[in-house]
Amino acid sequence: MKKILIVEDDEAIRMGLNYYLKQESFEVVESQNAKEAIEKLKEEKEIVLCLLDVNLPDKNGFTLFKEIREFSKVPVIFLTADDVETSIVMGLDMGADDYITKPFKARELTSRIRNVLRRYENSSNNSIIEYGGITLDTRQAKVFKNGKDVMLTALEYKIILNFFLNPKMVFTREKVLANIWDVNEEYVNDNTLTVYIKRIREKIEDDPSNPKIIKTVRRIGYQLGDSND
Amino acid sequence: MKKILIVEDDEAIRMGLNYYLKQESFEVVESQNAKEAIEKLKEEKEIVLCLLDVNLPDKNGFTLFKEIREFSKVPVIFLTADDVETSIVMGLDMGADDYITKPFKARELTSRIRNVLRRYENSSNNSIIEYGGITLDTRQAKVFKNGKDVMLTALEYKIILNFFLNPKMVFTREKVLANIWDVNEEYVNDNTLTVYIKRIREKIEDDPSNPKIIKTVRRIGYQLGDSND
DNA sequence: AAAAAGAGTGACAATTTTGTAATTTATTAG
DNA sequence: CTAATAAATTACAAAATTGTCACTCTTTTT
């Protein structure tokens, strides 16, 4: 029975979350503000994940996140009110594990929670990752579509690897560029990634103009698959 | 205390092996021929590795190997009498885990044994492999030389990955070509790999003309590092 | 010591990759 | 419905990759 900490001042949302999570057989700890959250985290060592509202009465969620990171590596999922907040979360790129925009469907939430937890558990991960008929084998650095070897360039492989290692996680274009390109590379055009995604889609999607594998998340970036499973 | 099966008809070698392995705190089971070997393997379930002479009185070592594979996945290291036999082992490419040419140094043998065992134990392996100042990270598909990102092409990366995933294992050029290139690729020139190795060495070796990382094994092929640690 | 075999090297042309810019299409906001 | 914004697409040159060949150097064999 895994214990999850909710940090959320709005009582309605907090109650709702609590209810859903218990149904999904998580144990729930609640806190209404940053101070309380830190207390609980230090107290209850078994907390495996933290749902963190970006807007808190006593403190900015980002600041709280940084403070948490000073003493704990617990996975954190941000709860954002809208796309603007979401963009900030992505833009600041503080290393949150995921985020979810309110209002959200119960199923989406639990699926994201399970994803994050799975990522943490499998850090010493499998070499073979599958999604939507695509198999990626990190031990061969090969990608297969229905068993057939797909030829990818070095960069295409790095990009698709990035998504396959973090399924359902949304990446901004900037984030992917930063992950893949050399650190002190001269600035690489934002559209460049769009073009790479197109090229990858042409190689792996059944219908590249209606992608099922690398999906577009408008205004933000791309993700492997769909949030709602 | 790990149990190793020796299959060898020459008594002197068998005794020698037994002696060395016991010193290295392995438990040893001996057999003088194929029939006996199969019996012991079926009997003693704790055998973790098998040293298999290519020349046996009652049966060809290759045939025995195939028979063993019908009921067991135990790692097998071939003992070959000379380079010719070694070439055959490599050429047949039966999936042996390693081989060692007689006469061999005790240290070389134990180091190969430990290598094979390590490979088996870490099949759900680490994403970061290091050797001689080179770090290969399969999660990023990146290679670093003293922390600095080395730019490799898709093929170069696949080739170096092949060696880093199987340290100290000797690969013929044909084997590497077969591993890396698409299955039903038109024939790729043997020398092509030599050229690729050169290119890789130029990127990763301190002194490319005196390689310390990808070493040449004359008449056979290449290997990561040195057999004698 | 000469011949033979294996490995390394440099250079080359064909093909790909890479990054960008310009344009078109789709989606959202007013 | 129109304008504004974001994403997709197309096309294109510069740069890099890829595979091979001819040649040299090294090691082994005779």
The pLDDT tens digits for B201-219 are 999 999 998 999 999 988 8
Q: Is the pLDDT of residue B106 over 90?
A: no
Q: Is A12 part of the contact surface with chain B (CB cutoff 8 Å)?
A: no
Chain C: bases < 7 Å from a protein Cβ: 6-11, 16-22, 27-29
User: Do residues B111 and B24 both lie within one domain?
Assistant: yes
Span of A174-183, B32-41, B86-95, B140-149 with lowest mean pLDDT: B86-95
Span of A213-217, B37-41, B86-90 with lowest mean pLDDT: B86-90
Supply the pLDDT for residue B179: 85
Per the structure, the residue whose CA is closest to nucleotide C16 at C1' is A153
Q: How far is A161 from chain B (nearest CA, A)?
A: 7
User: Do residues B161 and B213 both lie within one domain?
Assistant: yes
Q: Are residues A201 and A134 in contact, defined by beta-carbon separation less than 8 angstroms? A: no
Q: Are residues B172 and B217 in contact, defined by beta-carbon separation less than 8 angstroms? A: no
User: Do residues B10 and B115 both lie within one domain?
Assistant: yes
Q: Which residue has the tokens 């984030």?
A: A175
Question: What is the CA A158 to C1' C27 distance in angstroms?
Answer: 29
| Residues A127, B138: C-beta atoms closer than 8 Å | yes
Question: SS3 of B144, please?
Answer: strand
Calculated CA dihedral for residues B20, B21, B22, B28, nearest 10 degrees: -130
User: Do residues A87 and A184 both lie within one domain?
Assistant: no
Per the structure, the residue whose CA is closest to nucleotide D6 at C1' is A219
Q: Is A141 part of the contact surface with chain B (CB cutoff 8 Å)?
A: yes
User: Do residues B115 and B23 both lie within one domain?
Assistant: yes
**CATH code, domain carrying B157:** 1.10.10.10
Got the DSSP string for A195-219?
A: HHHHHHHHHH-SSTTS-SSEEEETT
Supply the pLDDT for residue A122: 58
Q: Is A126 part of the contact surface with chain B (CB cutoff 8 Å)?
A: yes
Query: Of B35, B19, B28, B20, whose CA–CA distance to B1 is shortest?
Result: B28
CA–CA distances in Å: residue B51 to residues B48, B83, B113: 10, 18, 9
User: Do residues A18 and A111 both lie within one domain?
Assistant: yes
Give the number of other Cβ atoms within 10 Å of residue B213's Cβ.
20
Q: Which of B121, B148, B182 corresponds to the end of one domain?
A: B121
Q: Which of B54, B89, B121 corresponds to the end of one domain?
A: B121
Q: How far is A122 from chain B (nearest CA, A)?
A: 10
User: Do residues A57 and A93 both lie within one domain?
Assistant: yes
- For residue A215, list its beta bridge partners: A223
A51 part of a folded domain: yes
Rounded Cα distance between B68 and B38, Å, is: 7
Sign of CA dihedral A185, A187, A190, A196: negative
Q: What is the mean pLDDT of residues B168-176?
A: 86
User: Do residues A110 and A132 both lie within one domain?
Assistant: no
Q: How far is A21 from chain B (nearest CA, A)?
A: 32
A229 part of a folded domain: no
Supply the pLDDT for residue B62: 86
Rounded Cα distance between A76 and A74, Å, is: 6
Supply the pLDDT for residue A125: 53
Rounded Cα distance between B32 and B124, Å, is: 35
| Residues of chain B contacting A125 with CB distance shorter than 8 Å | 127, 139
Supply the pLDDT for residue A186: 64
Q: Is the pLDDT of residue A228 over 80?
A: no
Q: Is A203 part of the contact surface with chain B (CB cutoff 8 Å)?
A: no
- Residue A110: both structure tokens together: 């639990």
User: Do residues B134 and B191 both lie within one domain?
Assistant: yes
Question: SS3 of B7, please?
Answer: strand
Q: Which amino acid is at A118?
A: R
Q: What is the mean pLDDT of residues B79-99?
A: 76
From the list B139, B182, B183, the residue facing A165 with the nearest CB is B139
Rounded Cα distance between A159 and A163, Å, is: 7
User: Do residues B54 and B91 both lie within one domain?
Assistant: yes
Kind and range of the H or E element at B30? strand B26-31
Which residue has better confidence, A114 or B213?
B213
B51 part of a folded domain: yes
Q: What is the mean pLDDT of residues A56-82?
A: 87
What contacts B24, CB < 8 A, 6 or more positions away?
B110
- Percent of chain A with pLDDT strictly greater than 90: 41
Q: Is the pLDDT of residue A118 over 70?
A: yes
Residue B187's nearest nucleotide, by CA–C1', is D19
A112 part of a folded domain: yes
Range of the structural domain that residue A214 is part of:
128-224
B229 part of a folded domain: no
Residues B34-68: b if buried by 16+ CB within 10 A, e if exposed: bebbbebbeeeeebbbbbbbbebeebebbebbeeb
Q: Is A122 part of the contact surface with chain B (CB cutoff 8 Å)?
A: no
Q: Which residue has the tokens 């209606």?
A: A210
Kind and range of the H or E element at B29? strand B26-31
Kind and range of the H or E element at B162? helix B154-165
Kind and range of the H or E element at B42? helix B34-43
Q: Are residues A36 and A9 in contact, defined by beta-carbon separation less than 8 angstroms? A: no
Q: How far is B125 from chain A (nearest CA, A)?
A: 7
Rounded Cα distance between A169 and A82, Å, is: 17
Rounded Cα distance between A145 and B108, Å, is: 42
Per-residue pLDDT of A141-192, as tens digits, reads 999 998 889 999 999 999 999 999 888 888 888 888 888 886 555 678 889 9
Got the DSSP string for B79-137?
A: EESSHHHHHHHHHHT---SEEEESS--HHHHHHHHHHHHHHHHTSS--SEEEETTEEEE
Please give the order of strands across the beta sheet that includes B2-7: B26-31, B2-7, B47-53, B76-80, B98-101
What contacts B180, CB < 8 A, 6 or more positions away?
B155, B158, B159, B162
User: Do residues A114 and A140 both lie within one domain?
Assistant: no
A114 part of a folded domain: yes
Q: Which of B93, B121, B149 corresponds to the end of one domain?
A: B121
B212 part of a folded domain: yes
Span of A86-90, A106-110, A150-154 with lowest mean pLDDT: A86-90
Supply the pLDDT for residue A185: 59
Question: SS3 of A100, please?
Answer: strand
**CATH code, domain carrying B16:** 3.40.50.2300
- The number of domains in chain A is 2
User: Do residues B41 and B146 both lie within one domain?
Assistant: no
Question: In chain A, where do the E strands start and end?
Answer: 2-7, 26-31, 47-53, 76-80, 98-101, 128-131, 134-137, 142-145, 148-150, 171-172, 214-217, 221-224
From the list B127, B140, B141, the residue facing A125 with the nearest CB is B127
